[in-house]
Structure 1
Amino acid sequence: MERLDMVMDVRDVPKKSKWFMLSLQHLFAMFGATVLVPFLTELPASVALVSSGLGTLSYLLITRGRIPAYLGSSFAFIGPILSARAIGGVEGAMMGSFVAGLLYGLIALLIASFGLDWIMKALPPVVVGPVIIVIGLGLAPTAVDMAMNVNGSYSGMHFSVAILTLTVTIIGSLFFRGFFGLIPILIGIIVGYVYALILGIVNTDFIVASFNQITSASSFGEFFSAIFVAPEFVIPFVHYQPLDVLNFNILAIMVPVALVTIAEHIGDQMVLSKVVGRNFLKEPGLHRSILGDGVATMIASVLGGPPNTTYGENIGVLAITRIFSVFVVGGAAVLAITFGFIGIVSDVITSIPTPVMGGVSILLFGIIASSGLRMLIDNQVDLGNNRNLIISSVILVIGIGGAMVQFSVGDLGFKVEGMALAAIIGVILNLVLPGKEAAYGNGKMFGEADTDSNE
């Protein structure tokens, strides 16, 4: 595959004079989406930044520095984290996330041992596409509530903030070019934040306190301690005992989501292979990239951050800049870790008003749902075929409707609901209904023809 106008190859090391700015640019493109997930799940943004950076570095290590991918907070886990927190608190959600990461490792081992075909049979486009739609549309009520309600009551002023944020983000996505074209989400958040500041709905107390502490420092030690603040990590065996908070209901909510994110991961690797001009499914291998994704999720869980996943935004940055260097991506990861320890950065993120994030969420959650629809279209999945129509329809209604299965075995209670239940039923329907070949559409989602390229 021809790599058009490549600026830097995967293993190229940038010049020291440009390295910082290139990595900062890459991080900024991921920044808006990465901090939105902890905002919605009420997890510390500083922990999300640190776990995102550490997860990316571990991913680069596991993939032998051959895949230029940045890992950020996963949108697919937003609903499951909120449900798991209601059952077992933050600690329970983190342990569910950890076990989901273990599932990545198990699937990576199976792929390394038996190849790729078996997972494609379980997760064809007709299953994955509707489940991704469920992820986006299932979060739609949350986005709308954040955009226009305050404590459950409508607020025109707050809704105006959300609409302005959304408008600027849309304009930026369509018309901005160069560096600004990479960060429309961040620009939308900044403009919405400034407008909210003018309206007086931004709580700046923590920012002012941090700034005063910095300016009043009388020694280097005080200045250093005012700048750098340890994130609010939630670490197993330090803050809680894992087995005390883990239960089967949490596992039933969290673990099946990994099947969806793994399918998304495979799709990302396909697109990334096209952009860079290398077959990453063969070298360093899909098993390594999935393992890297799983380890990053486990790292996040033991720190108290949201699960990590490879980012579509990362592919967009690579496609636009043609800078494929893993050293640039690694630099972005180091900057994310550094920002996570700078207190005033965390204070600014925490002070972002809810309607600002609501405005951005309207677009981002819609894009998630649309990407599921695009998967069906790109693979030419025929919904005129009754089999495909049945599978996709059942997944959509069960997932968006919030259906739940609850049962008990002895003293143990089990509950599977929403997206997790939809994904499981979708996989089962696809395996048992006749005419499996229709589930793959044109067969190119994970086909060899799409990944053959020159090394």
Structure 2
Amino acid sequence: MPLWTLHGNGRTVEPGSVVAPSERLNWPATVAMGVQHVVAMFGATFLVPTITGFPVSTTLLFSGIGTLLFLLITRNRLPSYLGSSFAFIAPITAATASGGMGSALAGVVAVGVLLALVGVVVQVAGLGWVDKLMPPVVAGAIVALIGFNLAPTAWLNYKVDALTATVTLAAVILFSVLFKGFLGRISIFLGVIVGYVFAALTGKLDFSKVGDADWIGLPEFHLPDFATAGTWSTIAMFLPVVLVLVAENVGHVRGVATMTDASVNQHTGRALIADGVATTLAGVGGGSGTTTYGENIGVMAATRVYSTAVYWVAGIVAILLAFSPKIGAIFNSIPAGVLGGVTTALYGLIGIIGIKIWVDNRVDFSRPVNQYTAAVALVIGIAGFTMQWDAFQLGGIVLGTIAALAIYHLGNLIARARKSGADDGGPIPAVGPLGGDPQD
């Protein structure tokens, strides 16, 4: 039996139909669409290592390998590209500054292992416990605080060259507003190109290392360091990322299932395992952690082609590109001003994704427990609260995540207990802030 059956005439997608994961178009069309998916993921995938200082080629290599592993582990039934996750930027930046790249990679490996274990539990027990642990108000708060926690980093790069940063930021916004469909989805990538060209024209670009780099060569590999003092506090800083990756993977599977076949949902556990394995492998070799990519989901929705054959092509193309040091050198030459402009938009968008989770799920913010879950977590994350015991330190993302989980679950526990007391003739709780009732 072939891996894929030919869809229709192999050239077009009939009105009202989609190319299912088990189908494909003819090979020229499949290859072209695979390359298109590489373009779609490229802008975001190269930004993570560029911002964090990780080798671009290495991260690209492990994103391609991770994509192929994902397809294998999900039995070739779930189309997805695994690109660099923005959720890793904040902990990688902090860990690299305090303990070096090896320490940051140890955190990436820990996230991958834990995510794979979560996948095993989901595969056996189902998703119900995840929904209870991390309801929309908590999930939205965690995603939002990870984005907003990065705001100071964006400003550090922005003020290095405010003019270039402003041009880049304006380009990102204009591309997203002026263009619809595919071009609109890669507005960040296009904005980087505009900023890069502007920096070159104004003499602010150092292109010397690009000329010295070879066209073909091995990526730069690094090993995780679990022996450095403070490694456990570093790992703790990465753990909230697991919750984000769970949310992203679950959302991806549900999105594909909605467009193709509801039975796809049964592969959720395998998707989490696959992303966990891919992230672990990336951390072992020197790449950033991975996640399913919204950019590529958008391309599938626009083309109505959900064939896994397309992603085999995309993964192979990404691996081939990774063996060009010159391409990596080009990305490493991006000036701070360009990064400052694009990350001002990017980090804000990560925060807005969290808020979108609240909106899409109609989170009731008249309830005090929801108000405080979001409010306290966001302030902790934005301000960058820290707590330290000797070499062990917890940063704003960890503390904000703990606060969101604790406030929501303890608050609801107390509210239920008080409501039970009121039902038994006990005192009626007072009205909460902003007009909310603690009993709601």
Question: Which TM-score band applies after superposition, normalised by the shorter structure?
Answer: 0.7 to 0.9
Question: How big is the shift at 1:277?
Answer: 4.5
Equivalent residue, structure 2, for 1:74: 85
Task: Describe how 1:35-434 pairs up with structure 2 within 5 A.
Answer: 35-147=46-158, 149-150=159-160, 158-177=161-180, 179-210=182-213, 226-235=214-223, 242-243=226-227, 247-282=231-266, 285-407=267-389, 413-434=391-412
Counterparts in 2 of 1:435 and 1:268: CA distance versus 1, 3 Å: farther
User: In the aligned structure 1, how far is the partner of 2:314 from the partner of 2:393?
Assistant: 39
User: In the aligned structure 2, how far is the partner of 1:391 from the partner of 1:249?
Assistant: 24
Question: How big is the shift at 1:367?
Answer: 1.3
Which amino acid letter does the alignment assign opposite residue 173 of structure 2?
I
User: In the aligned structure 1, how far is the partner of 2:257 from the partner of 2:103?
Assistant: 36
SS across alignment from 1:433:
helix
Contact kept, 8 Å, 1:96 with 1:251, in 2: the verdict is yes
User: In the aligned structure 2, how far is the partner of 1:427 from the partner of 1:244?
Assistant: 30
Gaps of 5+ in 2: 1-13, 417-440
Worse-superposed segment, 269-278 or 395-404: 269-278
SS across alignment from 1:170:
helix
Kindly provide the CA deviation profile for residues 141-169 of structure 1, in whole angstroms up to 9, marking residues without a partner as x.
2223322x22xxxxxxx323222222222
Question: How big is the shift at 1:351?
Answer: 1.2
Which amino acid letter does the alignment assign opposite residue 400 of structure 2?
A
User: In the aligned structure 2, how far is the partner of 1:35 from the partner of 1:341?
Assistant: 14
Contact kept, 8 Å, 1:387 with 1:435, in 2: the verdict is no
Kindly provide the CA deviation profile for residues 313-346 of structure 1, in whole angstroms up to 9, marking residues without a partner as x.
1211111121211111221111111111112211
Contact kept, 8 Å, 1:96 with 1:246, in 2: the verdict is no
User: In the aligned structure 2, how far is the partner of 1:436 from the partner of 1:355?
Assistant: 49
Contact kept, 8 Å, 2:140 with 2:358, in 1: the verdict is yes
User: In the aligned structure 2, how far is the partner of 1:436 from the partner of 1:340?
Assistant: 53
Question: How big is the shift at 1:29?
Answer: 0.9
User: In the aligned structure 1, how far is the partner of 2:97 from the partner of 2:148?
Assistant: 21
Worse-superposed segment, 376-385 or 327-336: 327-336
SS across alignment from 1:9:
coil
User: In the aligned structure 2, how far is the partner of 1:340 from the partner of 1:437?
Assistant: 54
Counterparts in 2 of 1:377 and 1:105: CA distance versus 1, 3 Å: same
Which amino acid letter does the alignment assign opposite residue 232 of structure 1?
E
Aligned length: 403
Counterparts in 2 of 1:377 and 1:343: CA distance versus 1, 3 Å: same
Contact kept, 8 Å, 1:125 with 1:381, in 2: the verdict is yes
Which amino acid letter does the alignment assign opposite residue 235 of structure 1?
L
User: In the aligned structure 2, how far is the partner of 1:312 from the partner of 1:53?
Assistant: 16
Counterparts in 2 of 1:205 and 1:128: CA distance versus 1, 3 Å: same
**RMSD (Å), alpha carbons:** 2.2
Gaps of 5+ in 1: 151-157, 211-225, 439-455
User: In the aligned structure 1, how far is the partner of 2:183 from the partner of 2:138?
Assistant: 36
Counterparts in 2 of 1:126 and 1:345: CA distance versus 1, 3 Å: same
User: In the aligned structure 2, how far is the partner of 1:87 from the partner of 1:204?
Assistant: 29
Counterparts in 2 of 1:235 and 1:247: CA distance versus 1, 3 Å: closer
Question: How big is the shift at 1:418?
Answer: 0.9
Question: How big is the shift at 1:101?
Answer: 0.9
Equivalent residue, structure 2, for 1:8: 19
> Moved runs in structure 1, 4+ residues, more than 3 A?
3-7, 177-182, 241-246, 275-279, 435-438
Question: How big is the shift at 1:209?
Answer: 2.8
Counterparts in 2 of 1:111 and 1:141: CA distance versus 1, 3 Å: same
More contact order relative to length (CA 8 Å, sep ≥ 6): 1
